Structure 1
């Protein structure tokens, strides 16, 4: 089974994926909107920053698209939003950082709107994952956590996926039994990589309702620079 792919900046993504896969897409993890006043009710001190846990996100959170956040912040492209996000968490420094974009984002992220899930696969993707992983007749999915060397098979159910996402380390791979599809988290980022043997990956991500960018021959993992 596929345990992990480390994407480097030296060559495009499509040149680094296993030969049996013909297409790839970058899946954007949605921002998280909690009910009005949620953070204030949870805070014990004025200076305390509260981030919802997985269970709270599933029960009370709503997905907010990158397009909506870009519009409210005055950011023009997905790349600008990534630069703003990664600068604000310290993942980009020195000449790569864009403090101007991070400031724009900070000015417009307030109240009960939170950054997307960092390093992990978003809980909002669970319904689509259930459909994709079982699309070609698989009843189970395979998961692998390379950092902690944990892997195994589980039934394709909402409960199983919730458990894996809740307990997973920062790097996680999900694939169906036939390995037709692969879904991977990416460290220090707010995206996931989706691989498919089918070339019509754009149609598939649209059907799942995933906000995404389909990779072409010149798309690098650092596509936003």
Structure 2
């Protein structure tokens, strides 16, 4: 078995999650990216999501090379929704809404259905696995309550705040930040940064955050609405007791596609 840091395998795309990490960590927690509300007059419901499914006409206006392609049954999403709240606005005034509340309010039955609804909403699923009826249940509820959806594949501002608190709780101050393709790693000292400055250091494509001693790892991948916390059992117990994160512990069989097996 290689070293996941040396081998650049900090996310377990296939197979059992705990097995992937077994040489480094004995416990892994699946942490769910929270929804949120803002005290903000919101009239256009498309602003509640970072991504937007474009019509064929909208796609042609935004993407030149499509003009040269034959028309096809393809879904194209845009992420330049300028009315979706900026990080600073979320940091200053967002109220986190847990998945549990969304499940209860939307008539979805569980986290697995909510994850499928979210993944359907961004076109992340093969057409055989999409569940438009679940997406509609979700959107009807979040639209009615002006609840913003998390953005997939990045540590959102609210998660960065809780990760900062978690590192402090574990007594970890030297933190490594590595991007998706392992091209850049920066080290930050939490004692030298405010909470907001720490959050601001983490870019949208920074997928791996870990203590310099590698005892705790936070890792995400590009189309997920959750991230993984890998560490030892004592620290996981400490984090669960802190109620910083909503989610669940991996068992021996849990994999990246947990919504199909839970």
Which TM-score bucket, shorter chain as reference?
A: 0.7 to 0.9
Q: How does 1:105-116 map to 2 (within 5 A)?
A: 105-110=138-143, 112-116=146-150
C-alpha distance 174-208 of structure 1, shift in aligned 2 (>3 A): farther
Once residues 179 and 236 of structure 2 are traced to their aligned partners in structure 1, the CA distance between those partners, rounded to angstroms, is 25
Whether the 8 Å CA contact 2:170–2:235 is kept in 1: the answer is: no
Residue 40 of structure 2 is aligned to residue 6 of structure 1 = no
Once residues 61 and 183 of structure 1 are traced to their aligned partners in structure 2, the CA distance between those partners, rounded to angstroms, is 22
Structure 1 runs of 4+ aligned residues shifted over 6 Å read none
Residue 119 of structure 2 is aligned to residue 86 of structure 1 = yes
Give the superposition deviation at 1:116.
1.1
For residue 144 of structure 1, what is the aligned residue in structure 2? 178
Once residues 108 and 76 of structure 1 are traced to their aligned partners in structure 2, the CA distance between those partners, rounded to angstroms, is 14
Residue 213 of structure 2 is aligned to residue 178 of structure 1 = yes
Once residues 167 and 118 of structure 2 are traced to their aligned partners in structure 1, the CA distance between those partners, rounded to angstroms, is 29
Whether the 8 Å CA contact 1:22–1:199 is kept in 2: the answer is: no
Once residues 91 and 196 of structure 2 are traced to their aligned partners in structure 1, the CA distance between those partners, rounded to angstroms, is 12
Residues 27-76 of structure 1: CA deviation (Å, up to 9, x unaligned): 00110212141456xx8xxxx96311211211222110101111110011
Question: Rg larger in 1 or in 2?
Answer: 2
For residue 199 of structure 2, what is the aligned residue in structure 1? 162
Whether the 8 Å CA contact 1:205–1:212 is kept in 2: the answer is: no
Residue 131 of structure 2 is aligned to residue 98 of structure 1 = yes
> Could you tell me the TM-score, scaled by structure 1's length?
0.86
Residues 88-135 of structure 1: CA deviation (Å, up to 9, x unaligned): 110013211111111111111216311113211122233432333244
C-alpha distance 186-146 of structure 1, shift in aligned 2 (>3 A): closer
Once residues 193 and 151 of structure 1 are traced to their aligned partners in structure 2, the CA distance between those partners, rounded to angstroms, is 19
Give the superposition deviation at 1:4.
4.6
Q: How many correspondences in the alignment?
A: 217
For residue 242 of structure 2, what is the aligned residue in structure 1? 207
Please report the RMSD computed on the Cα atoms of aligned residues, expressed in angstroms.
Answer: 2.5
Once residues 247 and 17 of structure 2 are traced to their aligned partners in structure 1, the CA distance between those partners, rounded to angstroms, is 15
Uncovered stretches (5+) of structure 2, i.e. residues with no partner = 48-79
Once residues 131 and 255 of structure 2 are traced to their aligned partners in structure 1, the CA distance between those partners, rounded to angstroms, is 19
Residue 187 of structure 2 is aligned to residue 153 of structure 1 = yes
> Could you tell me the TM-score, scaled by structure 2's length?
0.74
Once residues 159 and 140 of structure 1 are traced to their aligned partners in structure 2, the CA distance between those partners, rounded to angstroms, is 16
Residue 29 of structure 2 is aligned to residue 25 of structure 1 = yes
Give the superposition deviation at 1:18.
5.1
For residue 130 of structure 1, what is the aligned residue in structure 2? 164
